[in-house]
Structure 1
Amino acid sequence: MPDRITIDNRLPEDHRARSLRADATAGLTADPKSLPPKWFYDAHGSVLFDRITRLPEYYPTRAERMILRAHAEEIARLSGARTLVELGSGSSDKTRLLLDALTAAGSLKHYAPVDVSEAALADAADALCRDYPDLRVAATVTDFEADLALPEAGGPRLIAFLGSTLGNFVREQRAAFLARLRAALTSEGDALLLGLDLVKDPKTLVRAYDDDQGVTAAFNKNVLRVLNRELRAEFDLGAYDHRAVWDPEAEHIEMRLRARVAHQVKIPALDLTVDFGRGEDLRTEISAKFRRETVTEELAAAGLELAHWWTDPQSRFALLLATPAAAPSLEDPPQPSDA
């Protein structure tokens, strides 16, 4: 590993196993039943999701990349970021557009990705250090939903949370998470870059989560494969139908697995038997869709101020730049510190 890379692993060795057991126990004994979407993403699930991002129905990834291509230079100028922090960085693919712009602007010194997968962070860091000879990578292995300890790197920092991942939280969870993000913006000039999917016609939204090829259905059922492998569960994937449902009141998409017949599922690792009624749903994901006015309100409640807003030409997706409410305008970015 190059000496320009550091990886701080803050997770205990059994973190994944303990978290899965806790989430499965809580979610499968609740009414209604649910599981967090993070359990889609084993190796097979990650391959399926990559296929989803290339489907004609699934616009968010393309739209966000389009905005980044069009406005990365402006984002770099406005932020003057010396450190780019990315939450849930994964392969850091889209991030390269920001890294290119910040490097060209002459401000960037550090990239600080945060993810639960040490292997993904190490692979991405190696690739980035080959392509960006002057870049230093300070990676953190942690579950940022519970531990938002950001790397101590030189400010100002731009904290990127892309992919509309914020939409996987219900409103109360978003409020708490945004408040924690605000508390983490401690260096002068720190800013938050959020990617958000926008409210649009329900047909377009549902199609994005229920494609004609059935890739999203396979991705949805992959959570059952994970439980079968990791917890010795006995889910029959063929006993469930994939469902994507638009909730107009909450303004979010729900992905569900609907039981075709009444049955029981044994999960030996949890000493648990779960009853499913015919037509009963297991919710596996929510994906909130946003409006500019409601986002502005949610940011303000967390002590953040909307500074800039960009969308793709069809206004399907948005990138926004937010600052602490008491911070100076980003029109005159602060000078980098010596750190």
Structure 2
Amino acid sequence: MSVQAYAVRDEQRPPDDVLLQVVQRGLRATPKRLPSWLFYDEQGSALFEQICEQPEYYLTRAEIALLNQHAGDIAGVLGPDVRLVEYGSGHAIKTRLLLEHLVNPVAWVPIELSAEPLRQAMARMSTHFPDLPIQPLAVDFTKSLRLPVPPRAPRRTVLYFPGSTIGNFEDRDAAQLLRKMRGEMGDNGGILVGADLKKSRKTIEAAYNDRAGITTAFTLNMLTRLNRELGCNFDLGGFRHRARYNAMAGRIETHILSNRDQRVQVGRYDIPFREDEAMLVEYSCKYSLEDFAALAATAGLAVQHVWLDPEGLFSLQYLTARAV
């Protein structure tokens, strides 16, 4: 197992006082909202893996189909001697499909806030690629990163951002993140990013409202986490999940709704909820190819290549710095 800088710590949550401030500020706002990273405690991460296996959740299947068809071509575009820096690596199932085609990769740098999925991914990857240097970072990829020194000089650094996580950011924040990535990739580097595409409302909404109720459990697990970590008293039976597609904005909007008039203790604050009051917990933006090219341009990036799955549901796009 070629693992360097093995400094994986459980950093999936900020200190209690910071977490409490974030939650209190969000619940006292109008309208109420909480950040989507609160989904990903250990249970939330496990539930998300189950979501990816649901028949309605097309995104993972489409991305795997895309890689099965195009990974060789993608690797050819990236070239040999790549250092692959992966944002939000999770269990890295899709990453293996890409690494199998890369020629002489310098290192894989998985960046994952949740420590246990990171450990598991590293163990699996070292089995498949025993000679691949692995340099994990258990940090928040939205913050400034200090990448580890590579074991040898790479031909280029490619930041890999799979899935559709870029869509969880509003356009302004997504552009800011892409600008940060542009600085981290270096002059000769690139960004390989997944972007979910616009399609029928029926298909999109079904993906976020699976019949088995896994997404509902995932959403409401956020309240369980707040009860456990902050001593809140959310009654899970008093809230419900709702995910609807806003066609004008091009995004799924996920809310937690209150089933009745009620009050919840959050630290020293007694937070009132009205019946049917909605608390925003996540956006999932969908793009046309033109939408995403425009977003990339605001971050000083240009789309060099686009790959689609056979059904045209999902895209992987390779971005490089725009010529000045």
TM range (shorter): over 0.9
How far has the Cα of 1:5 moved from its partner? 2.7
Change (3 A) 1:304 1:8: farther
Give the Cα separation in 2 of the matches to 1:300 and 1:170: 16
TM-score (norm: length of structure 1):
0.89
Change (3 A) 1:230 1:288: same
How far has the Cα of 1:204 moved from its partner? 1.1
Cα pair 1:109 1:134 within 8 Å, conserved: no
- Where do residues 265-276 of structure 1 align in structure 2 (5 Å cutoff)? 265-267=264-266, 270-276=267-273
Aligned to 2:26: 27
The code of the aligned residue for 1:130 comes to T
Aligned to 2:322: 325
Deviations 1:146-199 (A, max 9, x none): 2233333232112100111011111111111111111112152x1110011111
Aligned to 2:49: 50
Give the Cα separation in 2 of the matches to 1:219 and 1:13: 16
Deviations 1:94-135 (A, max 9, x none): 110111111xxx321211111113333233223322321211
Aligned to 1:140: 137
Give the Cα separation in 1 of the matches to 2:58 and 2:7: 34
Aligned to 1:193: 192
Cα pair 2:39 2:221 within 8 Å, conserved: yes
Aligned to 2:305: 308
Change (3 A) 1:85 1:14: closer
Name the SS for the 2:316 alignment partner.
strand
Aligned to 1:94: 94
Give the Cα separation in 2 of the matches to 1:318 and 1:229: 38
Name the SS for the 1:305 alignment partner.
strand
- Where do residues 233-312 of structure 1 align in structure 2 (5 Å cutoff)? 233-267=232-266, 270-312=267-309
Instruction: Give the number of equivalent residue pairs.
Output: 320
Give the Cα separation in 2 of the matches to 1:264 and 1:229: 18
Deviations 1:203-260 (A, max 9, x none): 1111111111211111111100000111111001111121111112211101111111
The code of the aligned residue for 1:41 comes to Y
The code of the aligned residue for 1:71 comes to H
Deviations 1:75-94 (A, max 9, x none): 11111152111001122111
Cα pair 1:256 1:283 within 8 Å, conserved: yes
Cα pair 1:5 1:125 within 8 Å, conserved: no
List gaps (5 residues or longer) in structure 2: none
Give the Cα separation in 2 of the matches to 1:74 and 1:30: 47
Name the SS for the 1:195 alignment partner.
strand
Aligned to 2:76: 77
Give the Cα separation in 1 of the matches to 2:251 and 2:13: 33
Judge which range, 149-158 or 164-173, deviates more.
149-158
How far has the Cα of 1:8 moved from its partner? 4.6
Give the Cα separation in 2 of the matches to 1:294 and 1:14: 33
Judge which range, 2-11 or 238-247, deviates more.
2-11
Change (3 A) 1:19 1:83: farther
Change (3 A) 1:250 1:260: same
Name the SS for the 1:222 alignment partner.
helix
Give the Cα separation in 1 of the matches to 2:210 and 2:119: 33
Change (3 A) 1:53 1:4: closer
Give the Cα separation in 1 of the matches to 2:121 and 2:61: 21
List gaps (5 residues or longer) in structure 1: 328-339
The code of the aligned residue for 1:305 comes to A
The code of the aligned residue for 2:276 comes to G
Same amino acid, percent of matched pairs: 36
Aligned to 1:166: 166
Change (3 A) 1:126 1:187: farther
Change (3 A) 1:260 1:194: same
Name the SS for the 1:257 alignment partner.
strand
Name the SS for the 1:130 alignment partner.
helix
Aligned to 1:182: 182
Judge which range, 243-252 or 152-161, deviates more.
152-161
Name the SS for the 1:136 alignment partner.
coil
Deviations 1:19-69 (A, max 9, x none): 532321221111111111111122222222122111111100110111111
